[in-house]
Amino acid sequence: MSQESMAEPPLLQPSKRSLPDFKQSIKLKYVKLGYHYLITHGILLFLTPLVAVVVAQISTFSLRDLTDLWEHLRYNLISVIVCSALLVFLSTVHFLTHPRSVYLVDFSCYKPEDARKCPRELFVDLSRGLGAFTDENIVFQRKILERSGLGDSTYFPEAVTRVPPNPCMAEARKEAELVMFGAIDELFAKTAVKPKDIGILVVNCSLFNPTPSLTAMIVNRYKLRGNVVSYNLGGMGCSAGLISIDLAKQLLQVHSNAYALVVSTENITLNWYFGNNRSMLVSNCLFRMGGAAILLSNRRSDRRRSKYRLVHTVRTHKGSDDKCFGCITQEEDSDGRVGVSLSKDLMGVAGDALKTNITTLGPLVLPMSEQLLFFGTLVGRKVLKMKIKPYIPDFKLAFEHFCIHAGGRAVLDELEKNLQLSEWHMEPSRMTLYRFGNTSSSSLWYELAYSEAKGRIRKGDRAWQIAFGSGFKCNSAVWKALRTIDPAKERNPWMDEIDRFPVEVPRVSSL
């Protein structure tokens, strides 16, 4: 790399590209919210040792003791009533405060055929050949690609790479069907679940919402039963995959003995930008073709064969703030061309939403030692007015695996620094960005699939998925591995090439 290129100014303002330093401000209300979630289920923490003591005491009874107790209860109506009332009360408390466990049976990620690969140089040539972009903006897109962290094997739909491009409704439907049906077909093959067994269907896709809906396309293709509970989520950004998981979780609390199919995808065909607004051109450079299908269950019989149990979901919405609401917007440029505009405030907004989310999540997942240190310094600063630095908990003590939305290299760099994560922790996100690009809401599943393909998932491990998207939203999901994942038995998009990863991704990869 030449000295001239090293001296070039950044593409966007540095002050806008940095996440806020989490050490400088921790909002107490979000800490309280996290503890509120914890205390909501605190009755179980109180009753569990009580029940254990009762069971231990009963286990010491002899047959004679049990006979005497029975004789006593037979002739003591008050004791019978009290015991019965206590049993009913404890049973009611248990069922009201103990939600059904939600298991992730398996998931699959769509891997397009090799013909859909679009190397970065080909991307630039296609952009130049369109004649829609100025020479300056061709250079701009090249620079974005060189610094993006994307490799040369990401995928585009046929309608985009065709000369000339053919962005139309028919091609958009074709892309949606390829991605969704490809992921679902593999998921059904892996789990041996029949389409008629699916009771809940949730699909999220932000920018493509046809009529009939994407959920209707799936119902029609797989002939799902007539009473399937279906939801189609649109316009909710890259974090919508975890919103779909949270929605499915809530529905599984209501519908007993049910399977929920969650499909997360995005559509490139109709959302390619053909204008010269630079804030909209960035999306062209980062977003790529991809999707994932996830099978959830609340059946106890599925626990043994499931991969993970859903432990927590935490959702944060900052849409009440105008700056947050408008930092990612689909709109027309000055020439009437539609695109997705990214504000220069995006990094700051993302950092604020992330800080809120992890501050709420902390009390739910951090070990007591970390919580005491954090709470002690917080009391010292807020109550005693002591001039001490706030303590930032070590989330590496709460999680073994991190799946951070592969939205772009800058975001991953800042999260690595602020959360004090190692290269090993960031590897799934960086390699997903390099190999598949930003696949929107499905990127988290390519990242988890990477950890599985590497043989890193052990029984009892905890994985943290965190993503953010337009609105502005930041959402988290925490999973606990129910078994050790054997990569030799896995089928996922990494398996035929996992030995080539990780690869070194330079700060600037010249074209």
pLDDT tens, residue by residue, 47-64: 556 666 666 666 677 777
pLDDT for position 481:
98
Residue whose structure tokens are 């054997």: 486
- Reported as type and span, the H/E element at residue 232 is strand 229-233
pLDDT attached to residue 302 = 97
Active site residues: 238, 317, 401, 405, 438
Tokens read off for 378: 């917080």
Residue 193 to residues 102, 259, 299, Cα–Cα distance (Å): 17, 9, 13
Is 272:167 a contact under the CB 8 Å cutoff?
yes
pLDDT-flagged residues of the chain (< 50): 1-17, 23, 39-40
- Report the alpha-carbon distance of residue 365 to residue 186 in Å, rounded: 33
- What pLDDT is attached to residue 336? 94
pLDDT given at position 23: 47
Cα separation, 468 vs 324, in Å, equals 12
Report the C-alpha gap between 36 and 29 in whole angstroms: 10
At 10 the pLDDT is 44
State the pLDDT at residue 34. 54
Structure confidence by residue, pLDDT tens digits, 350-393: 988 988 898 889 888 988 888 888 778 878 877 788 877 766 78
